Amino acid sequence: MRTRAAVVEAQGQPFTIADVDLDEPREDEVLVRMVATGICHTDITMGSFLPAEMFPNVFGHEGAGVVEEVGARVQGLEPGDHVVMSFRSCGDCAKCRSGLVGYCDSTLLLNYMGMRMDGSTSIQRDGSPVFGSFFGQSSLAAHALAYADNCVKVDPDLDLTLLAPYGCGFQTGAGTVLNVLQPKPEDSLVVYGVGAVGLAAIAVAAAEGVESVVAVDPLASRRAVAEGFGATSIDPTEVASVVDRVKELTGGGAAYAIDTTALPPVVKQAQQSLRARGTLVALGLGAEEYVLDAIDLLQGGKTVKSSIEGDADPQEMVPRLIEMRAAGTFAMDDLVTTYPADQVNQAVADVTSGAVVKPVLVW
């Protein structure tokens, strides 16, 4: 079928809204009419991160829409279902069977190769392949092909424009607190970089009753949102030493730290901000290498780790966060700003400048 997509034509180029041809759904595929698609920082990074030969490409991995058609072998979904889309996993390997679907043995092939497992692209233009299948969706488009494993069915009465970011950004921040760190109220948490991912972590830490939460970000608008969730904030451009300030605010160092900046000097600060035996989770994408403070790491017996999607299984985490939203303990609606799909580059500019937290395109 003919549809519209936000295409990145070449490495480092902005998005262009263009007509493309999307395959009919195969027997294991689901055709989804997109209502809304969140833009995650990863969609922006990929345009310069992937090798030049992987363009033109359609990204987008926070799709939310309505199922239009299902292949013959698809179970659990039918036309008319409202779905929030997330990342893919095989469901069958040891990691998937243990519930850690973000570390599926087939994750690279299922989410990042720009094509189906058999090497075909699901998108064409003038007969030439366009890379797609990003997170098994490529949902920066009016229609997308997805799979039963990455479509989470949601209540059709809910507003899909507000739920789109639950498939990646919000899930990752929330899951990092709920699954990876599991802080107790008496623990302290510092979050470096409070965009969509960092703010979701802060919102959930507050919901879990964590008393001491510190947000570090140079953007005043974002620090203000973090403060609204009960965090104390630091402007890293205003203090002589961010690390010293975090230590002051947390009684000698935070039990837990999260980095979403992917900036090597900031990751090092996040490590240094920890108290002895503390744990840092580095979530950002974009750096090739991090440099740790080896003496501090050793003396403090610290842990530095990372996480894909907050170790979440979207089929559990998305409904859980929707329940928290209904209960008023995951109040992220005001962080969403909608844009008509053809204003995709304005949306990118606004999230980059910090004018908005979570841009969502409406198709």
Q: Is the distance from CB of 72 to CB of 57 less than 8 angstroms?
A: no
Give the Å distances, CA to CA, from 171 to 69, 137, 168, 258, 332. 27, 17, 5, 14, 12
Cα separation, 211 vs 102, whole angstroms: 29
Cα separation, 9 vs 129, whole angstroms: 12
- 48-56, 76-84, 167-175, 314-322 -> range binding ligand NAD (CB under 6 A): 167-175
Amino acid in position 212? S
Total residues interacting with ligand NAD, rule: CB under 6 A: 34
Cα separation, 92 vs 179, whole angstroms: 21
Q: Is the distance from CB of 15 to CB of 153 less than 8 angstroms?
A: no
Q: How far is the CB of 318 from ligand NAD (least distance, A)?
A: 14
- Using the rule CB under 6 A, is 260 a contact of ligand NAD? yes
Residue 96 binding target from Zn ion, ligand NAD, none, CB below 5 to 8 Å by type: Zn ion
Nearer to ligand NAD, 31 or 361 (CB): 361
Nearer to ligand NAD, 42 or 121 (CB): 42
DSSP string covering 44-75:
HHHHHHS-GGG-SEE----EEEEEEEE-TT--
Binding ligand NAD by CB under 6 A: which of 262, 318, 321, 356? 262
The structure tokens listed for 180 are 């990876």
Can you give the binding site for Zn ion, defined by CB under 5 A?
40, 42, 89-90, 93, 96, 104, 168
Q: How far is the CB of 190 from ligand NAD (least distance, A)?
A: 10
Cα separation, 342 vs 113, whole angstroms: 26
Residue 65 binding target from Zn ion, ligand NAD, none, CB below 5 to 8 Å by type: none
- Using the rule CB under 6 A, is 308 a contact of ligand NAD? yes
What DSSP character marks residue 131?
A: B
Binding ligand NAD by CB under 6 A: which of 47, 195, 314, 359? 195
Nearer to Zn ion, 110 or 242 (CB): 110
First-to-final CA distance of the chain: 16
Q: How far is the CB of 217 from ligand NAD (least distance, A)?
A: 4
Binding ligand NAD by CB under 6 A: which of 197, 205, 206, 226? 197
Short-list 338, 40, 63, CA closest to 200: 40
Q: How far is the CB of 291 from ligand NAD (least distance, A)?
A: 15
- Using the rule CB under 6 A, is 116 a contact of ligand NAD? no
- Using the rule CB under 6 A, is 115 a contact of ligand NAD? no
Residues that bind ligand NAD (CB under 6 A): 40-42, 45, 168-169, 172, 192-198, 216-219, 222, 236, 260-263, 266, 283-286, 307-309, 351, 354
